[in-house]
Amino acid sequence: AIQMTQSPSSLSASVGDRVTITCRASQDIRNDLGWYQQRPGKAPKLLIYGISTLHDGVPSRFSGSGSGTDFTLTISSLQPEDFATYYCLQDYSYPWTFGQGTKVEVK
Amino acid sequence: EVQLVESGGGLVQPGGSLRLSCAASGFPFNNHEMNWVRQAPGKGLEWVSYISKSDSARHYADSVKGRFTISRDNAKNSLFLQMNYLRAEDTAVYYCARGSFFGPTKYFDYWGQGTLVAVSS
C-alpha cells in the first residue's frame, strides 16, 4: 500500500498567518491527491482535488501544489474557521490511503 | 440538496456482526461510485471500501478484507456495509462518502454525518 506521510502533525498559528502543510507519498501518485478539512465533531469536507483544483465554494485562500510524491496545502491567510484538522488522500491505487492528519490550532 | 444519512451503528460484541446503511438523496445515485471511510476515536481517517456505480467493482482496505462486504441497491438509493467478525479495532465512526471525478481525478465530494460502531464485551 502507498504510504502518505503528512507533516507537521500539528501546528499553532494566528489569524492572518500563512500556513503550509506537506504530504509525501511513498511512490509516484501522479496527480491523484486531494485535501480534506475536518472540524471537531463534523464530517470531513473536500477542499482540493487533483493536487490543485479547488472544490466548489472553497475560498481562494486555500491552494494546493506539488507533483509526483511531494504535495503542499497552503492557506494564505488563516481565518478563524480554518482551525481544523487537514488530511491528504491518495486515490492513485487501492487501497486508498490518507495522511495521518495535521491539526491547526490557535497560537 | 445532496444528502447521505448513515444508520445501523451500535454496540456489538467482538466476533459479532453489524450492517450499516447509507440512504442517499438529492442526486442520481446510480451515477456515482460510493465509499465507506472510518475514524477511530481520536484518530485519523481510514478509507475502508469502494463500490463502482453498477457494482462491477469492489475494493477493500487490507484491515477489513474478508470480513466486510460493501454493496448497493440502486433502486433504493442505498449503500450498505456488512461487517462480520468484528474486532475492538473496528470501533469507529463510519462515514459514507460519494465519489465523483473530473477526468481521471477522483474525490469524495459529499459525506454523511457518520454512524458510531463500538465493539466491546
State residue B103's pLDDT score: 81
Tell me what percent of the residues of chain B surpass a pLDDT of 90: 95
Judge whether residue B102 has pLDDT over 90: no
Cβ pair A36:B45 closer than 8 A? yes
**Chain B partners within 8 Å of A32 (Cβ):** 104-106
Average pLDDT, integer, range B87-96:
98
Question: In which band, very low, low, confident or very high, does the pLDDT at B42 lie, cut at 50, 70 and 90?
Answer: very high
**Chain B partners within 8 Å of A97 (Cβ):** 47
Average pLDDT, integer, range B61-69:
98
Enter the C-alpha cell of residue A25: 507519498
Say how many CA atoms lie within 13 Å of B59 toward its Cβ. Answer: 16
Cβ neighbours of A11 (radius 10 Å): 16
CA–CA separation, B63 and A106 (whole Å): 35
CA–CA separation, B20 and B6 (whole Å): 7
Residue keyed to cell 491539526: A103
Average pLDDT, integer, range B37-57:
97
Cβ pair B107:A49 closer than 8 A? yes
Cβ pair A97:B60 closer than 8 A? no
Nearest chain B residue (CA) to A96:
B47
pLDDT tens column, A3-57: 999 999 999 999 999 999 999 999 999 999 999 999 999 999 999 999 999 999 9
Judge whether residue B105 has pLDDT over 90: no
Average pLDDT, integer, range B49-74:
97
**Chain B partners within 8 Å of A44 (Cβ):** 37, 45, 95, 108, 111
Q: Among A3, A94, A97, A102, which would you mutate to test the B interface (most chain B Cβ atoms within 10 Å of its Cβ)?
A: A94
